[in-house]
Structure 1
Amino acid sequence: MSILVTGASGFIGSWLALEHKNLVVSVSRNVQANSDFFIEDINRHTDWQTPLSGIKSVIHLAGTAHNRSGCHRKLLECDYEGTLKLMRDCGKYGVGRFVYISTVNVYSNFYSRHPFGVKTQLSPTTVKAEFCVSIENNLKEISNELGIELVIVRSPLVYGPNAPGNFSLLTKLVKKAPLLPFALVKNRRDFISVQNLVDLLIVCASHENAAGHVFLASDNETVSTREFIDAVAYGQGKKVLQVPIPIGLMRFFGRLIGKTRMIDQLFDDLEVDSSNISEILNWTPPYTMKEAMAMLRTEVK
């Protein structure tokens, strides 16, 4: 089976292309990346004929980068219009399956003690998540119209060596700070390592039972922020002392400095129900969190 992977120079895409280089065809917008195809930009005008030649499945990872300010236009052109154009071209050139990577930010009830599931009502919490919901809905329409198998994977925070975004900030904090104020944090959050996510995506692109399903990815290890930070420290070969600072005080300080959303992500729950992955795909994460975190010591400095 030939699988086309877009966004092959990104964090997840580069892992996927490296781990499964004999199985995938890679596409990147980075001319310096060691990809099979270079595409200057992804939008409603992109010509996918050559990259899609002989391809059976597409794993679509390309999108607007983390935390880019003023990115509404790019979200519209690349994430929305570019994704829909790619799926329509899949129908045009005989590709049978399209795997779309979405986000658990399509849910908003961070204070619920109930895990989010595939039947939970969507209520996106960010502009990018709003685009993801719209993209998911339109992809379902195109799937029905053109007969392309669609698989949607909603992912929580993805961690691993040289991960971008919030995880990068967290690893830097753990490296520099011998004391951290999270001893009292007992929330419940799900994460997924890049190693586990890449393995799951390959299964979603190839398993006969995956078609038409939505999956919520996770390591199947629900942990608190305190436990997650301890795991990061272990992965870096460090020890950190967690001190008992009242959570209400940290929330108050976070509001004062304009970091309410970041504080919410540290202290609120975000638990997902990934049980249908095991039931439908017979898949379990190949790496434990401890095993995946140990690979942080391989980070490129």
Structure 2
Amino acid sequence: MQVLVTGAGGLVGMAVLGRLEHEQGMQAIAGVRVLAPGNGECEQRMLGDLAEGRVAAGALRGVEVVVHTAARVHVMEESEQDPLAAFRAVNVEGTRALLKAAAQAGVRRFVLVSSIKVNGEVSLPGRPFSEQDAANPQDAYARSKWEAEQLVQAFCEQHGMEWVVVRPPLVYGPGVKANFQRLMRTLGRGLPLPIGALRNRRSLVALDNLVDLLVTCLTHPRAVNQTFLVSDDDDLSVVALAERLARLLGSRSWLLPIPATYLRAALRLIGRAGVAQRLCGELRVDIEKTRALLDWHPPVTVDEGLARTVTHYLEHRH
């Protein structure tokens, strides 16, 4: 079975391709902007720039399943004057172009990697997010992902194509960048962090667990036309995450017990309200539907996932 993966150079896309190369009966195809001969072991096909709203003719020929991981992701320091338009260009219109190409090529199933941010930024205490909750996107990125989900569902149902949507929370694993990498760097240097009083819990998903679920969704008959949430099923407080990472890094964690109310106020004063929300708010997901409907369980524990992440970081840091 030919499976084309978009976002082949990204953390998730690259990991999905790596897994498919070892799956019996699967032929992994990397959907790329520009062909790069000799880069990677699997076949490459040039899709072009999805932000331009078109896909190269014949790129999906013979493909049975598309795993769409390519996206303009959440940007911490936004430079676009119209962020929503920039997100929509890739995440909505790029997805539309890919869907049209998939329908023309006779693709059977379209798997979209979305985001838990479609549900919202903060879950209520004792009420983790579920697939049944009304969408509540709070920023331009989340709105574009919600619009992409709606587009995928409507288009696939109109053209007789199966769809699957997966909404992950924060993904960590070997090669992770951005905030998670910065946290490891700070902890590894033994620098103090004002997060010692943050006991709010947040759901995370190890890269291996997300990839395992995506591969399950390629062929599982009960995944058809369903939305799934995913996590490690072992939520950690901010403090617990920092302490585990520090131990793995072989450093001492200096976590100053600054009350959450003071930390929120300080971050808002310097224009970091979004950071305050992510640090101090609870964001938990319920994966009961994913477990029950697909008979799926995270194959990697939190400790195993964190250990793999830190090992890779230590081996590749500069």
Normalised by the shorter chain, which TM-score bucket?
over 0.9
The equivalent residue for 2:11 is 11
Q: Which residue of 1 aligns with 2:107?
A: 95
* Contact in 2 for aligned 1:60/1:99 (Cα 8 Å): yes
Give the C-alpha shift of residue 30 in structure 1.
Answer: 5.5
Paired with 1:6 and 1:48, the residues of 2 have a C-alpha distance of 15
Mapped partners of 1:218, 1:132: distance in 2:
18
**Structure 1 position 14, deviation (Å):** 1.2
- Structure 1 CA distance, aligned partners of 2:256 and 2:276? 17
Secondary structure of the 2:136 match is coil
Q: Confirm whether residue 84 of structure 1 aligns to residue 92 of structure 2.
A: no
Is contact 1:8-1:27 (8 Å) kept? yes
1:44 equivalent among 26, 50, 53: 53
Q: Which residue of 1 aligns with 2:119?
A: 107
Structure 1 portions without partners, runs of 5+: none
Q: TM-score, normalised by structure 2?
A: 0.88
Query: Helix, strand or coil: the match of 1:151?
Result: strand
Q: Secondary structure at the match of 1:36?
A: strand
Displacement, 1:19? 2.6
Question: For residue 79 of structure 2, what is the aligned residue in structure 1?
Answer: 69
What CA distance in whole angstroms lies between the structure 1 residues aligned with 2:2 and 2:210?
19
Structure 1 residue 226 corresponds to structure 2 residue 235 = no
CA separation of 1:235/1:3 partners in 2, compared to 1, >3 Å: closer, same or farther? farther
| 1:20-46 deviation per Cα after TM superposition (whole angstroms, max 9, x unaligned) | 224321112265553612333114221
TM-score, structure 1 as length reference: 0.93
1:117 and 2:130 are equivalent in the alignment = yes
Equivalence map 1:136-175=2 (5 Å): 136-175=149-188
Q: CA deviation at 1:266?
A: 0.8
Q: Kindly indicate whether residue 66 of structure 2 is the aligned counterpart of residue 54 of structure 1.
A: no
Determine if contact 2:200/2:281 at 8 Å carries over to the other structure.
yes
Alignment of 1:260-275 (within 5 A): 260-275=273-288
**Per the alignment, do residues 48 and 237 of structure 1 end up closer, same or farther by CA in structure 2, a change over 3 Å counting?**
farther
Q: Does 1:257 align with 2:270?
A: yes
CA contact (8 A) 1:219 1:285 kept: yes
**Alignment partner of 1:179 is 2:187:** no
Q: What letter matches 1:298 in structure 2?
A: H
Find the aligned partners of 2:265 and 2:300 in 1 and give their Cα distance.
37
Q: Measure, in 1, the Cα distance between the counterparts of 2:89 and 2:168.
A: 22
- Residues 234/82 of structure 1: CA separation in 2 closer, same or farther (3 Å cut): same
Counterpart contact for 1:182–1:245, Cα < 8 Å: yes
Structure 2 unmatched runs, 5+: none
Q: 1:282 pairs with 286, 295, 300, which one?
A: 295
Whether the 8 Å contact between 1:237 and 1:297 is mirrored in structure 2 is no
Q: Equivalent of 1:298, from 312, 315, 318?
A: 312
Distance in 1 (alpha carbons) for counterparts of 2:45 and 2:302: 33
Aligned twin of 1:128: 141
Residues of 2 paired with 1:149 and 1:111: CA distance? 30
Q: Is the contact between residue 9 and residue 30 of structure 1 (CA under 8 Å) also seen in structure 2?
A: no
CA separation in 2, counterparts of 1:265 and 1:66?
13
2:211 is the alignment partner of 1:189: no
What letter corresponds to residue 256 of structure 1 in structure 2? Answer: L
1:288, distance to aligned residue in structure 2 (A): 0.5
Deviation sequence 1:228-273 (CA, Å, 0-9, x none): 1223223433331333222211111111111111111011000111
Structure 1: 4+ residue segments shifted above 6 A: none
What are the equivalent positions in structure 2 for 1:29-40 lying under 5 Å apart? 29=33, 31-32=35-36, 33-34=39-40, 36-40=44-48
Indicate how the Cα distance of structure 1 residues 232 and 29 shifts in structure 2: closer, same or farther if over 3 A, else same.
farther
Rate the CA distance shift 1:38–1:174 in 2: closer, same or farther, 3 A.
farther
Question: C-alpha root-mean-square deviation of aligned residues, in Å?
Answer: 1.9
- For residues 130 and 65 of structure 1, what CA distance do their matches in structure 2 show? 12
Shift of 1:109: 5.9
For residues 133 and 25 of structure 1, the distance between their equivalents in structure 2, rounded to whole angstroms, comes to 26
| 2:190–2:251 Cα contact (<8 Å) kept | no
Matches of 1:103 and 1:199, distance apart in 2:
17
Which of 211, 222, 225 matches 2:224? 211
Q: What CA distance in whole angstroms lies between the structure 1 residues aligned with 2:274 and 2:223?
A: 34
- Give the length in aligned residue pairs: 300
Percent identity of the aligned residues?
Answer: 29
